[in-house]
């Protein structure tokens, strides 16, 4: 594994006993949450996570949710987290920052209600996944229950300097996986082996997996246009195209690298043209990326895909870093729903990923990566070269 980290990032990754953000960064997040609460006119907030879903809990506490975590945020009292299971409490107590931790005793929502009542709550906000049963209990206990998930998304769109450093580490983990695939991908491996190669590239350095999706198909007789979320039980063969979407994570911060390989053969004319079109689309979008660029402008310049006679399956671009965030954009021929009124802002991080495919959805390629939007353009967070790689 080769991790391309400068000394500053190396020091962040090497923190003991666990890497964590600074006190100033946690104070910034808490202040932002309290500001959102004031805008929503709620006096207390519950941040929810369950079954490893709900990025708000690690964002405000540093604890990556396992089974259930319910965090109470109040302007005048310390954060309090009720969590399951009991055997997870010792570690959560060590990892959670500026937060008291208590066992939920399999009745976490009831304990949250009791604590909120002790704090005199009347209007309560919530962020994150909250089941219908828990929502009904909260609604019945207070004057108002206000969903604040849109407010949470708004808080996460622009990244702080510290968050950008963590994303750079996640990008390095993802790049290490691309490098490992360039060295180890060969005929005879199964798609399950590709998962193994990917994870071994960064787990020893403290990385974890958010996603590793692969598409594997014969270039002579293609039958896959977009990376699959789960591997087929198939072996890689000479003449295959392998394309991937890989996100190695540092804490809750992942990079995302999308690359294409050919196995033991040069690209066929079709795959050469698909890849050239994808690169042209990436370059056209990259040329206009900066604060103030609109979704309409991005989709307009991506029209090189349709002019070449192709379309897309995957999203063309999306916000990323702590979640899958707006703006989520499709191509001209495969829209991703109504266009958001959301010009790019300095500090946003987005993945540009033209997945150019044939109109019959038989063949496709992937190109792209996570970038940081600036006032004048964008910063590459990845260092992996962009190319169609011939391996083996």
* pLDDT by residue, tens only, the chain of 392 residues: 567 799 999 999 999 999 999 999 999 999 999 999 999 999 999 999 999 889 999 999 999 999 999 999 999 999 999 999 999 999 999 999 999 999 999 999 999 999 999 999 999 999 999 999 999 999 999 999 999 999 999 999 999 999 999 999 999 999 999 999 999 999 999 999 999 999 999 999 999 999 999 999 999 999 999 999 999 999 999 999 999 999 999 999 999 999 999 999 999 999 999 999 999 999 999 999 999 999 999 999 999 999 999 999 999 999 999 999 999 999 999 999 999 999 999 999 999 999 999 999 999 999 999 999 999 999 999 999 999 999 98
What tokens appear for 27 in the block? 């104070």
**Spatial CA neighbour of 285 closest among 275, 272, 295, 274:** 295
Q: Where are the beta strands (DSSP E) in 157-229?
A: 208-218
Q: Crossing angle of helices 161-184/191-200, nearest 10°?
A: 130
Distance CA 314, CA 367 (A): 11
The residues, ordered by sequence, that sit 6+ positions from 214 with a Cβ below 8 Å of its Cβ are 191, 194, 195, 227, 228, 231, 242, 243, 244
Q: Which domains does the chain have, with CATH numbers?
A: 10-156 (3.40.350.10), 161-391 (3.90.230.10)
DSSP state for residue 385 in the 8-state scheme: P
The residues, ordered by sequence, that sit 6+ positions from 22 with a Cβ below 8 Å of its Cβ are 162
Tell me the whole-structure pTM to 2 decimals.
Answer: 0.96
Q: Is there a cis peptide before residue 85, judged by omega within 30 degrees of 0?
A: yes
Q: Is 274 left (phi over 0), alpha (psi -120 to 50) or beta?
A: alpha
């Amino acid at each position: 594994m080769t991790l391309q980290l400068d000394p500053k990032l190396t020091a962040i990754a090497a923190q003991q006993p666990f890497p964590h953000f600074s006190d100033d960064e946690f104070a910034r997040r808490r202040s932002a949450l309290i500001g959102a609460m004031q805008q929503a006119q709620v006096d207390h907030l519950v941040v929810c996570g369950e079954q490893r879903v709900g990025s708000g809990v690690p964002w405000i506490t540093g604890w990556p949710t396992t089974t259930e975590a319910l965090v109470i945020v109040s302007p005048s009292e310390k954060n309090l987290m009720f969590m399951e299971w009991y055997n997870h409490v010792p570690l959560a107590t060590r990892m959670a920052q500026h937060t008291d931790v208590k066992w939920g005793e399999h009745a976490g929502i009831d304990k949250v209600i009791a604590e909120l009542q002790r704090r005199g709550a009347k209007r309560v906000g919530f962020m994150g996944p909250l089941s219908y049963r828990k929502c009904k209990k909260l609604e019945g206990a207070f004057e108002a229950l206000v969903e604040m998930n849109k407010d949470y998304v708004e808080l996460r769109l622009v990244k702080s300097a510290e968050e950008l450093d963590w994303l750079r580490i996640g990008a390095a983990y993802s790049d290490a996986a691309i490098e490992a695939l360039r060295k180890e991908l060969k005929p005879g491996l199964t798609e399950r082996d590709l998962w193994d190669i990917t994870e071994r590239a960064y787990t020893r350095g403290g990385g974890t997996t958010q996603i590793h999706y692969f598409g594997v198909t014969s270039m002579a007789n293609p039958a896959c246009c977009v990376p699959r979320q789960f591997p087929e039980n198939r072996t890689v063969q000479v003449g295959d195209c392998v394309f991937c979407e890989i996100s190695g994570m540092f804490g809750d911060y992942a990079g995302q690298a999308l690359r294409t390989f050919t196995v033991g053969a040069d690209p066929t004319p079709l795959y050469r043209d698909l890849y050239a079109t994808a690169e042209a689309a990436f370059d056209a979008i990259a040329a206009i990326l900066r604060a103030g660029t609109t979704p309409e402008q991005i989709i307009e310049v991506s029209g090189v895909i349709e002019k070449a006679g192709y379309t897309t399956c995957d999203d063309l671009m999306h916000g990323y870093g702590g979640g899958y965030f707006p703006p989520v954009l499709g191509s001209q021929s495969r829209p991703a729903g109504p266009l958001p009124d959301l010009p790019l802002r300095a500090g946003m991080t987005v993945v540009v990923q033209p997945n150019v495919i044939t109109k019959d959805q038989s063949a496709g390629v992937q190109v792209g990566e996570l970038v940081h939007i600036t006032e004048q353009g964008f910063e590459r967070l990845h260092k992996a070269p962009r190319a169609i790689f011939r391996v083996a």
